[in-house]
Amino acid sequence: MDAVFKKYPHLNELLASYSTRVTAQYAKMEIKRGFLHNLVLLHNKIVLCEKWSDVQQYISNLSSSPRRYQLGTILDAFTRYWKTVEDRRPSELLKKYGDINQSQIMKRDALSYLRLWIQRLLASIDKYFDEIMNPMNCFSDLAKPVRKGDLFENKPCRCKESQRECDIKEFFLQNHSEFNMILNNLKALPVSDVDNETRQRILALKKIIKKRLRTSTMHFSNKSQDEHLCWACGDAIHAVLAPPDAAVVNRNGKHYESICEAVTKECVVYSSPKS
């Protein structure tokens, strides 16, 4: 997301220095159920708001709610939006929208921008990367949001909504030693370094390794009730998915460093632009 949508200059330069750029269908799944889902929510909310001030109030209300990821997506989207329009002249807007009030101009222009990205985001990811890995057949029927009237529908969004069963259990079995090394590395961390996300990852890895993989009769896929276990292991899955000679480029060194160390993968951490 940071490379394709936010277009962080330092990150794009870093990725351009590698001969091959690889991502995973798993990452696209995370983006669709997270960032892209929130873009759709924002778009649909703007459609339903009568005035731009109502949009601003909606965003303000989010700032005092626990939905920080949704707020983050909205702020990222508006930052990119303003960068695309900040040099335009009033005459351009008048030519495009006619003599309407500022509130309606803001609504129409923001919706036009969001529609473009909602429709092309997943395809832009495919175009940006040289290879999309998917050894566990994760969400192979993932599709872009569908426009219905003035609104977008983002289904399927949850793993269980996919029509095809994934092979995540087989992937864990084939890479059992790597996941076990990650689990052991995380369990050896000092208590002060174990935050809630790491704690959930440890519990999920334990449950998958000790229960889901030891019996052929116990189910583990998007068609079971355990998709939350898969999501909790996301960073570990990305590290194991990465080719042996690949650098795992991320913005979350706090969690990735110990994971990459366990499977002897290079961990390259980048930061968000300061301004």
pLDDT, position 154: 92
DSSP 129-157: SSEEE-TT-TTTT----EEETTEEE--S-
Q: What is the rounded CA–CA span in Å between residue 217 and residue 207?
A: 15
Answer for the pair 32, 141: CB distance below 8 angstroms, yes or no. no
**pLDDT at position 90:** 79
The pLDDT value given to residue 216: 65
Structure tokens at 187: 């369990």
Q: What is the pLDDT of residue 275?
A: 60
Dihedral (CA of 200, 205, 211, 213) sign? positive
Task: Classify burial at 136, counting beta carbons within 10 Å of its beta carbon; exposed 0-12, middle 13-18, buried 19 or more.
Answer: buried
Point out the residues of the chain with pLDDT beneath 50: none
pLDDT score for 39:
95
d(CA 173, CA 128): 31
pLDDT tens figures, 64-92: 777 777 888 988 998 888 888 888 887 88
Enumerate the domain spans of the chain: 1-164, 166-275
**pLDDT tens, position by position, 44-70:** 999 999 999 999 999 888 877 777 778
Residue 267 forms beta bridges with which residues?
248
pLDDT confidence of residue 217: 65
156 preceded by a cis bond (ω within 30 of 0): yes
Phi, psi of 132 (to 5 degrees): -110, 105
Q: Are 55 and 114 in contact (CB under 8 A)?
A: no
Q: What pLDDT sits at residue 225?
A: 63
